[in-house]
Amino acid sequence: MTRYGLDFISDDDIFHHVKETVELYRTHINLKEFNKNIIDPIKLTFDSKVYGRSIEEIIEAECIRQIDKTNTNHIGYFHQNLFRYAGNGWEVPETGFDVINNELHIYAELKNKHNTMNSRAADSVYRHMQNKILHDDKATCMLVEVIATQSRNEKWFYDNLSHEKIRRVSIDKFYGIVFGDDEAFFKLCKVLPSILDDVIESLQCGSIRNSVYDELKALSPDTFKSLYLLAFKTYDGFQNF
């Protein structure tokens, strides 16, 4: 086992946590999956012509976009479930807050990016935190953002509301609280490429299996025609495309 030098989590635990995340990753796409929500051939045509790209390149880019959208959720799994290994009373419950420590009365909601919550979601989270501190006068609730606008641990000002025990915290500050090391998040980021290299080598993966273009070509040598018929085959006139 490679030594990663993270004194707040064992080499074995961080390797297996990264491995579990990689195994969740979507690494393949076929035509049925590609067209699950009905692809927009007009948009792809504009992209091809405006950006001077071949239709094959545009299809590949759209496949990557769809795969990336799925995999973003798995990065959330990586961030949240790493705290299972923290010990010292830290837990990742199945329901309620994302990360909790009942001994310290800390209750956290994790968000990957500072601007991913719409107003309804933000309102729900804030009300949930208000309810927690109402029923536990020792509680501190935290909105923890992996990608924040800056490093911070401050009152969360929301809709003209604020409370000293409802905090907006960047992930580096939260790692400092959990692991007692202000640079813990930095240390993880620095060694993460090496961990991923080891995981990918162990799994013998590292590429995307994409059959979309080949399946489109099998439908018709004219890829543009195949794209348009995916969306519009029942529309008037398209029988004669």
Q: Which domain holds residue 104?
A: 89-179
Does the pLDDT at position 27 exceed 70? yes
Measured torsion, CA atoms of residues 175, 181, 185, 189, in degrees rounded to the nearest 10? -160
pLDDT at 220: 85
Q: Does the residue 61 lie in any domain?
A: yes
* Phi, psi for residue 222 in degrees, rounded to 5: -90, 100
Q: Are residues 116 and 58 part of one domain?
A: no
Distance of CA 188 to the CA centre of its chain: 17
Q: Are residues 109 and 73 part of one domain?
A: no
Tokens 């018709």 correspond to 220
Q: How many residues does the chain have?
A: 241
pLDDT band at 98 (very low <50, low <70, confident <90, very high): very high
Strand partners, 115: none
Does the pLDDT at position 1 exceed 70? no
Q: Which of 153, 179, 205 is the last residue of a domain?
A: 179
Q: What is the pLDDT of residues 54-68, one digit of tens each?
A: 988 999 999 999 988
Q: Does the residue 204 lie in any domain?
A: yes
Does the pLDDT at position 32 exceed 70? yes
Q: Are residues 80 and 124 part of one domain?
A: no
> How far apart are alpha carbons 4 and 184 in whole angstroms?
13
78-102: average pLDDT: 95
Q: Are residues 145 and 104 part of one domain?
A: yes
Q: Does the residue 112 lie in any domain?
A: yes
Question: Minimal CA–CA distance to 229: which of 47, 62, 53, 35?
Answer: 35
pLDDT band at 240 (very low <50, low <70, confident <90, very high): confident
> Amino acid letter at 209?
R
Does the pLDDT at position 207 exceed 80? no
> How far apart are alpha carbons 215 and 31 in whole angstroms?
6
Q: Are residues 62 and 42 part of one domain?
A: yes
Q: Does the residue 78 lie in any domain?
A: yes
Does the pLDDT at position 69 exceed 90? no
Residues 109, 112, 113, 117: is their CA dihedral positive or negative?
negative
Q: Are residues 96 and 81 part of one domain?
A: no
> How far apart are alpha carbons 144 and 109 in whole angstroms?
6
Q: Are residues 232 and 201 part of one domain?
A: yes
Q: Are residues 121 and 70 part of one domain?
A: no
Number of domains in the chain: 2
CA angle 119, 136, 175 (to 5 degrees): 65
Q: Are residues 113 and 140 part of one domain?
A: yes
Residues 141, 171, 64, 22: is their CA dihedral positive or negative?
negative
Q: Are residues 222 and 173 part of one domain?
A: no
pLDDT at 115: 73
pLDDT band at 110 (very low <50, low <70, confident <90, very high): very high
Encode burial over 44-79: b for 16+ CB neighbours within 10 A, e otherwise.
Answer: beebbeeeeeebeebbbebbeebbeeeeeeeebebb
Q: Are residues 62 and 118 part of one domain?
A: no
Q: What is the pLDDT of residues 129-169, one digit of tens each?
A: 999 999 999 999 999 999 999 999 999 998 888 999 999 99
Question: Minimal CA–CA distance to 133: which of 155, 166, 108, 103?
Answer: 166
> How far apart are alpha carbons 57 and 34 in whole angstroms?
15
pLDDT at 206: 67
Q: Does the residue 200 lie in any domain?
A: yes
Number of H helices, E strands in the chain: 9, 8
Q: Are residues 175 and 196 part of one domain?
A: no
pLDDT at 146: 95
Q: Does the residue 184 lie in any domain?
A: no
Mean pLDDT over the full length of the chain: 92
Higher pLDDT residue, 16 or 37? 16
- CB < 8 Å & 24+ apart, contacts of 158-163: 158/122, 158/123, 158/126, 159/123, 159/126, 161/126, 163/130, 163/133
